[in-house]
Structure 1
Amino acid sequence: MKKIFLLISLSFMSCLHAQDITDAVRYSQQDILGTARFRGMSGAFGALGGDMSALQINPAGSAVFLGSSGSITLSTSNVQNDADYFNSFSGTSSSNFNFNQIGAVFVYNNQNESSKFNKLSLGIAYDQTTDYAEEFFAFGRSNNSIDSYFLSEAQGIPLDLLTRRSGESVDELYNFLGETEGYGAQQAFLGRESLIIESTDPTDSNNSVYSSNVAPGFFNQDYYYESTGLNGKFTINGGAQIHDRFYIGVNLNSHFINYDRVTEFFEGNNNTGSSINEILFTNRLSTIGAGFSAQVGGIVKVSNILRLGASFESPTWYYIEEETTQRVETFSNANGRELVNPNVINVFPEYQLRTPARATGSIAVLFGKRGLISLDYSYKDYSSTEFDSDGFDDFSDLNRQIENTLQGASTLRIGGELRNGNWSFRGGYSYEESPYKNESILGERTGLSLGIGYNFGKVKFDIAYDYSEQERNQEFYPNSAFTNFTSIDSYRDNLTFTLGLNL
C-alpha cells in the first residue's frame, strides 16, 4: 500500500536522472563571441593579444597591450532554423540583443632595465561564451506515435503504483512517484492518467504490462522548441613580458550557466480504433550552474614579423541544478478532453559535469603598421566529458555512452587585418569539427566574418558582422523509445559593436 504524501510542490528526484549527451555537448561548446575586432577576425587571436577577448584564447595576450585599456561590447543576433520533418519544411527566425563583454587590462611598465620583466599586466573581464537563444517549429506526417514514449516507461511498473487512491490528487501522486521511483515512473503516470495507455488487466493491481489507446496508422505531428539563456565567465588575468620577446599569462575563470527550454509536441490522428485522437505534451526545463577553470599561455616574438602562441585551458568543473515541469492534454472524439497538469516542480539532485580541456597553437604574421594575418588551431576531446554526483545518481552508463558517441574535435580559425591610417578592415574564417562520431547528429560548423574599425586616439570604435551555419538532427525525446527527430539547418548572423578606451 502506498503511503500518501502531502503535496509540497517540490519533487526531489531520485533513482533516475534526466541528463543526456546533448547536455554534455551543449555546456562544453563555445561560440565566437567577444569584441568586434575579435569577431571580425573569427577569433584568431592566440598569437596576437592586445584585445580583451584575445584573453579567452591565450591569457598571455594581456601583456601585449602597450598601455592600460578597456572595452565594452554589445551585439544583435539572428538565428534562422529550417526544419525538415518527413519532407515537410518550415522556417523559424528569432532575434535577440546581447551584452557580450566588458573588461579592462591595467599595464605596469617596469623602468628597471636590469629586470627580466619589462611589463606586468592585470586583467579583469566578463565574457559571454555561448548564446542559447533559438527556436524552431517542425511539422509532418509520421507512422510513429508518441504513445511509445509513455508505453516504454510504464512497462514493468505495477498498476497499483500508478493508480490514485481515494482523495489523492494528480499533484500528490506525481510528486510521490518523483520522490520514490524517479522520472520514468512519472512519465508512465502521465501516460496512464491522460488515457494514452492502460493496463492490459485493470482488475489486477500487480499487473505491469500496458497497451496503447492510440491505434496504429498515420499521425499529424507538430513540435515547437524554444530556448533562452547563455554561458558566461568572469576572468582574473595576470600577464608579463619578459626580455621584450616573451609573453606569459594565466587566467582564473569563474563560469556560470543559465539555460531555459520549453518544448511542445502535438499529435493528431483519425485512425480506426483509436480511442485517443489528439495528444499535447509540454515540457519546461530550467538549468543553472557554476564552474571553474584555469588557463595558461605564452607568446613568443620570433622576429618583427612572426609571432607564435600556445595555450592550454583546463577542463571546466561545473555544479549544475535542474528543474522541470510537465503537462499532458489529450482529446478523444468519443469522450472529450483530458488534462493532466501536475502543479509540481521536479528538482533534480545537483550533479557535476567536467567539460573537456582545450589546447591551442597559434601563429601570426605582422606587416608593420599595414596589417597582419593570424591562424589558430585548437583541439578538444569531447569523449572525456564526464558526469558525476555526490552519491545521488549513477552516471556510469551515460559516461560510457559519451565515450562511445563523442570524439576529439579540431577548430581552425583564420583572420586578417588591413590598416589604412586610422581605419582598420578585417575578415576571417572558422571551421569546427563535429564532437560526434556520427556527424549526422551534429555536423561541422563553418563561419565567415567581416569588420571595420576606426581609431580616434583615446577611443576606438569597431563593428563586425559574422555568419555561421551548421546542420543537426534534433531528437524530440533523447534516450526514449520514441525516436522521431527533425533535421535542422541552422544559420546565425550577428552584428557586434565595441567601444574601446585607452585608460
Structure 2
Amino acid sequence: MRRILTLILGLACLSANAQNINDVLRLGLEESQGTARYQAMGGAFGALGGDLSSLNSNPAGSAIFNYGQFAISGSNYNRSNDQGYGSSFNNTTLNSVELNQVGGVFVFNSQNPNSNWKKMALAVNYDLVDSFDNEYRINGNSTTGVDQYFLGFAKGVPFGSINYDPNSEFVDDVYLEIGELQNFGNQQAFLGYAGGLISPADPDNPDGESYLSNTEYSQVNQRYLQSTVGYNSKFTLNFSGQYQENLYLGASLNFHSVLFERFTQLDEDGYNTDSPVSFSSFDNLLQTEGNGFSFSLGAIAKLNDNIRVGGSYQSPTWYYLNDNLSQQINSNLADSEIRFINFNLINFYEDYTIQTPSKVTGSAAIVFGKDGLLSFDYSHQDFSKAELRPNNDPVFEEENTFIASELGAVNSYKLGGEYRIERLSLRGGYQIIESPYADKQIMDDLSGYSAGLGYDFGGSKLDLSFVRTEQDMDFALLDAASNTAASTFTNTNVALTYTLKF
C-alpha cells in the first residue's frame, strides 16, 4: 500500500535557481513610507529633518528637533493592478491596513554654554519599508504554454539522471532526491516529466539530452493567480548632534526584518483536440524570511536663515535570508501518484545573502520663516553593483553577471512643500524614481504625487496624507518563462499620524 508522507522533508539544494534579480529589486527599491507629513511631502526631507521618518533621508534630521516627540502612524494601502494578457484585460484590487511607523526622539540640550555641541538627540524608530501584500489574477490566451518552462530546464539534462521506475520508486522521494543531489533545474525537469508535460525524445537512451512537449497547441487558455503577503520592516537607532549654530551631524544603525510569501497557481487548457495533454496545473509556494543591516551618515547645514543643504550616505544593506519552496503539478498524463508531490514536501535551500547597493542623497530646502517651506532631494543608487552571495556559487555568479548587465543607476527626484496658516499646515509633493532597467519596457519609471494636511494642537499634532504612485512594467508569470503581462500598477496610500510632544 502506498505510504502517505505527512512530515516535512528538507533538502539543501546545491545550486538553487530560486533566488534571482527579482529578489534584489524587491528588497532594494524602496518607496517613501513613514509619517503622514513625510509622505505628504514626497519624502523630500534630506535638508529639513524635524520628522522621525526624515531619518530615512538623512540621519542628521533628529538634531533639528527642539524637544522630544513620540509619533505613531497607520496607513491604508490600496493596490490596483491593470494587466493585459493576450487579448484579455484584467484588473485586481487589494486593500490592507498597516501600522507603518512608530518611534520617538529624546533631545538633550547642552548644560555648558561654552560647548560647541549645543544639543544631542537620540531617536528610535520603526518604519514599514514595504508591504508585500498584493494579488494578481490574469486570465487570457498565450502562444507559449507552461511546457516551455519545463523544456527550458530539461535542455541538456541526461534522461538517465531524472528517470525512475514508478513500480519500485516513490515519485515524491525521487523529486526530493534530485533536488538534494543534483540541482533545482534538474528537479524542475523531473517535475515536468513526472507531471506528463514533457518526454525524452529517445526514452531508451539514458544519455539523451533532448525532450519533446506532450502538448499540442497554437495557443492555450491560461488562468493565473499570484498572491503575496509579508513585509520588509526597519528598526532605526539614531544618534545626532548640533555643532555650533548651523551644522547638524547624525548616524543611524538600521536593522531590517523580512518576511515574504508568494503563492502562484497556473491552470492551462485549450490544447488541440489531438493533443496528448488536455489540461495541466502548476502551483508554487515560496517563503522567504531573514534579517538585514545597514548604516547611514548625514549632515545638514544652515547657510542662512532661509536656506539649508544636506547630504547623506546610505550603506549597502546586507540581507541574510533563507528560502523554502513547495510545488505541485498535475495533468491527465501525470504519474498516478503525482498527488504526493504537494505542499507537504518542502525544499529547504542554503542560506544566502543579498547585498543591495549604497545610496547617496543631496538635498536643499528654502524655509520661509513660519509661513512654509520648499524642499528637494536627489538620490543616486547603482543597482548594477547589487549581488547575490556567496560569490563562489556558480549560479549566483551567473546571476550577478546578469544583474550587472541588465541593471544600472537609479536616480530619484523628490519635491515637497508646506504652507502654514497659523496651526494648520497644507502640504504637497511629487516624486520620480527612475527604472533600474535600461529597457523601460521591462520596468518603467515610478512617478507619484502626494498631498496632505496637519493641525498642531500645541501639545500634540495630527497629520493626514494621500499618496498615489503609478508604474508600468512587464509582469512575468513564471520567473524562468517568457510569459509576461503588460501591466500598470497603481498604489494609493492614505496615512494618519498622531504626534505627542514632551
Fold match (TM-score > 0.5): yes
Find out whether 1:286 has 2:287 as its counterpart: yes
Contact 2:194–2:335 (Cα < 8 Å) also in 1 = no
Shift of 1:205: 3.9
Q: Find the aligned partners of 2:335 and 2:28 in 1 and give their Cα distance.
A: 47
- Aligned residue number for residue 55 of structure 2: 55
Residue of structure 2 equivalent to 1:68: 68
1:211 aligned partner, one-letter code? L
Native 8 Å contact 1:388 1:394 kept in 2: no
2:38 aligned counterpart, secondary structure: helix
Q: Is residue 2:358 matched to residue 1:348?
A: no
Q: Residue 454 of structure 1 contacts residue 460 of structure 1 at CA under 8 Å; is this kept in 2?
A: yes
1:119-198 correspondence runs (5 A)? 119-165=119-165, 166-198=167-199
Cα separation, 1, equivalents of 2:370 and 2:290: 44
Mapped contact 1:14–1:393 kept (Cα < 8 A): no
Distance 1:401 1:390 in 2: 13
Deviation per residue, 1:59-113 (Å, 9 max, x gap): 1000000101110111111000001012310100001011111111100011311
CA distance in 2, matches of 1:179, 1:336: 23
State the partner residue of 1:29: 29
Partner of 1:243: 244
Identify the range of structure 1 (12-21 vs 258-267) with the bigger mean alpha-carbon deviation. Answer: 12-21
Identify the residue that residue 227 of structure 2 maps to in structure 1. Answer: 226
Contact 2:135–2:227 (Cα < 8 Å) also in 1: yes
For residues 354 and 201 of structure 1, the distance between their equivalents in structure 2, rounded to whole angstroms, comes to 44
2:495 aligned with 1:491 = no
SS in 2 for 1:151: helix
Please give the TM-score of this superposition, normalised by the length of structure 1. 0.95
- Alpha-carbon separation, structure 2, partners of 1:387 and 1:150: 24
- 1: CA distance between counterparts of 2:427 and 2:372? 9
Distance 2:54 2:195 in 1: 54
Contact 2:307 2:364 in 1 (8 A): yes
Please give the alpha-carbon distance, in whole angstroms, between the structure 2 residues aligned to 1:339 and 1:347: 20
How high is the TM-score relative to the length of structure 2? 0.95
Partner of 1:264: 265
Contact (CA 8 Å) 2:32, 2:43: kept in 1 or not? yes
Secondary structure of 2:332's aligned partner: strand
1-structure distance, mates of 2:80, 2:122? 40
Using the alignment, how far apart are the partners of 1:329 and 1:32 within structure 2?
A: 42
* CA–CA distance in structure 2, aligned partners of residues 356 and 468 of structure 1: 23
Per-residue CA deviation, residues 130-159 of structure 1 (Å, 9 max, x unaligned), is 122211112222222211111222233333
Distance 1:335 1:377, change over 3 A: closer
CA distance in structure 2 between the partners assigned to 1:391 and 1:409 by the alignment: 27
For residue 11 of structure 2, give the secondary structure of its aligned residue in structure 1: strand
Deviation of residue 224 (structure 1)?
A: 1.4
Cα distance in 1 for partners of 2:259, 2:338 equals 34
Distance 1:335 1:109, change over 3 A: closer
TM superposition shift of 1:339: 4.3
> Equivalents in 2 of 1:112, 1:402: separation in Å?
53
**Unmatched 5+ residue regions in structure 1?**
1-5
Q: CA offset at residue 163 of structure 1?
A: 3.0
Question: Is the Cα contact below 8 Å between 2:215 and 2:271 reproduced in 1?
Answer: no
Q: 1: distance between equivalents of 2:149 and 2:156?
A: 14
Cα distance, 1:289 vs structure 2:
2.0
Question: Do the aligned partners of 1:466 and 1:495 also contact (CA within 8 Å) in 2?
Answer: yes
Report how many residues are paired: 496
TM-superposed CA distance for 1:203, in Å, is 3.5
In the alignment, is the contact (CA less than 8 A) between 1:31 and 1:131 conserved in 2? no
Equivalent residue, structure 2, for 1:470: 471
Distance 2:328 2:261 in 1: 17
Say if 1:190 and 1:340, in contact at 8 Å, map to a contact too: no
63-72 or 338-347: which moved more?
338-347
- Cα deviation for residue 441 of structure 1 reads 0.8
Q: Using a 3 Å threshold, how does the CA distance of structure 1 residues 278 and 224 change in structure 2: closer, same or farther? A: same
Equivalent-residue separation in structure 1 for 2:395 and 2:193 (angstroms): 28
C-alpha displacement of 1:206: 4.0
Q: CA deviation at 1:476?
A: 1.9
1:7 and 1:103, CA in 2 relative to 1: closer, same or farther beyond 3 A? closer
| SS of structure 1 residue aligned to 2:95 | strand
Q: 1:141 to 1:336 in 2, by over 3 A?
A: farther
| Aligned partner letter, 1:144 | T
CA distance in 2, matches of 1:427, 1:406: 31
The question of 1:301 aligning with 2:328 is answered no
1:46 partner letter? G
Q: How does 1:315-354 map to 2 (within 5 A)?
A: 315-331=316-332, 339=339, 341-342=341-342, 343-354=344-355
Q: Could you tell me which residue of structure 2 aligns to residue 3 of structure 1?
A: none
Q: Which amino acid aligns with 1:178?
A: G
CA RMSD of aligned residues (A): 2.0
